[in-house]
Amino acid sequence: SAAGAKLRSLSVQSQGDTGYWVLAPRAGSVVQLDAVAGKQVGPDREHPVATIADLDEVLVVADLPQKDAAVLDPGGGVVVRLPGSQVEVAGTIDVISDVLDADRQTVPVRVRVANEVHKLRPHSYVEATFSSLPDERVVQVPSEAVVSDGSTSVVFVETEPGVLRRRPVQLGRQSAERAEVMSGLNAGERVVVRGALLLLNALDVKG
């Protein structure tokens, strides 16, 4: 029938009187599903029923200071790590942006990473080490340690027992749990994590 031919052209297979299988046009993983049993779908939907992505290769975007991005070249080696795990995979620099992020003053660098075992998931927060850069550890702090003082990000550093100082910092990548500090804080310095926001207007904090 014409209806059956139309269904076959859309890669839809019927199962009984009310069941249908929608066949994916390509192999991959379902990364978004906007359908539940009994929900009506049609060609006028604003969003697709399902989104499929090939996760055998993923893209990682790293935000680097200008001085570091200036010495990188496409094709350079990168090691990508998943924080808190033993996952470590190799990648290569794909694109170095010509545009500077105005807020962070960093340069987005896109990295292609082989991901055959699907250890890296979309929207994951990862660490990237570039082979052509000095092996420097990135300073990280809990996100709640960073507070906004107008247009400036600050942390409160314990410079001596009982003495706290407001310290402006420049941030890199951020997640709900961690924030990279690109400048303004040294590794090993103690910062206030809980209650940092309350300290902004505290009179006993030395600025």
CATH of residue 72? 2.40.30.170
CATH of the domain at 143: 2.40.420.20
Are residues 80 and 125 located together in one domain of the fold? Answer: yes
204, part of any domain? no
Structure confidence at residue 11 (pLDDT): 65
pTM equals: 0.53
Structure confidence at residue 137 (pLDDT): 64
118, part of any domain? yes
Residue range of the domain that includes 36? 2-53
Tell me how many domains the chain contains. 3
User: Each residue's pLDDT tens digit in the chain (207 positions)?
Assistant: 565 565 555 566 666 666 777 777 777 778 788 877 777 777 777 788 788 887 888 999 999 988 889 989 999 999 998 887 888 899 999 999 999 988 888 999 999 999 888 888 888 888 888 988 765 567 889 999 999 877 889 999 999 888 888 899 988 877 778 888 888 999 889 999 988 888 766 644 445
Are residues 35 and 73 located together in one domain of the fold? Answer: no
Do residues 41 and 51 make contact, with C-beta atoms less than 8 angstroms apart? no
Q: What is the distance between the alpha carbons of residues 70 and 86, in angstroms, rounded to a whole number?
A: 30
Are residues 14 and 34 located together in one domain of the fold? Answer: yes
206, part of any domain? no
Residue 181: strand pairing partners: 139, 171
Are residues 158 and 187 located together in one domain of the fold? Answer: yes
Are residues 170 and 188 located together in one domain of the fold? Answer: yes
Are residues 71 and 125 located together in one domain of the fold? Answer: yes
Neighbours of 107 (CB within 10 A): 21
Q: What is the distance between the alpha carbons of residues 15 and 126, in angstroms, rounded to a whole number?
A: 43
185, part of any domain? yes
What does the buried/exposed string (b/e) look like for 46-85 if buried means 16 or more CB atoms within 10 Å of the residue's CB? eeeeeebeebeebebebbbeeebbeebeeebebebebeee
Among 110, 130, 150, the domain boundary falls at: 130
Structure confidence at residue 1 (pLDDT): 56
Q: What is the distance between the alpha carbons of residues 128 and 106, in angstroms, rounded to a whole number?
A: 15
61 token code pair: 């975007």
Structure confidence at residue 204 (pLDDT): 45
82, part of any domain? yes
Are residues 109 and 149 located together in one domain of the fold? Answer: no
Structure confidence at residue 58 (pLDDT): 92
34, part of any domain? yes
Structure confidence at residue 104 (pLDDT): 80
Structure confidence at residue 196 (pLDDT): 84
Residue 60: strand pairing partners: 111
Structure confidence at residue 205 (pLDDT): 47
Are residues 114 and 77 located together in one domain of the fold? Answer: yes
Are residues 156 and 125 located together in one domain of the fold? Answer: no
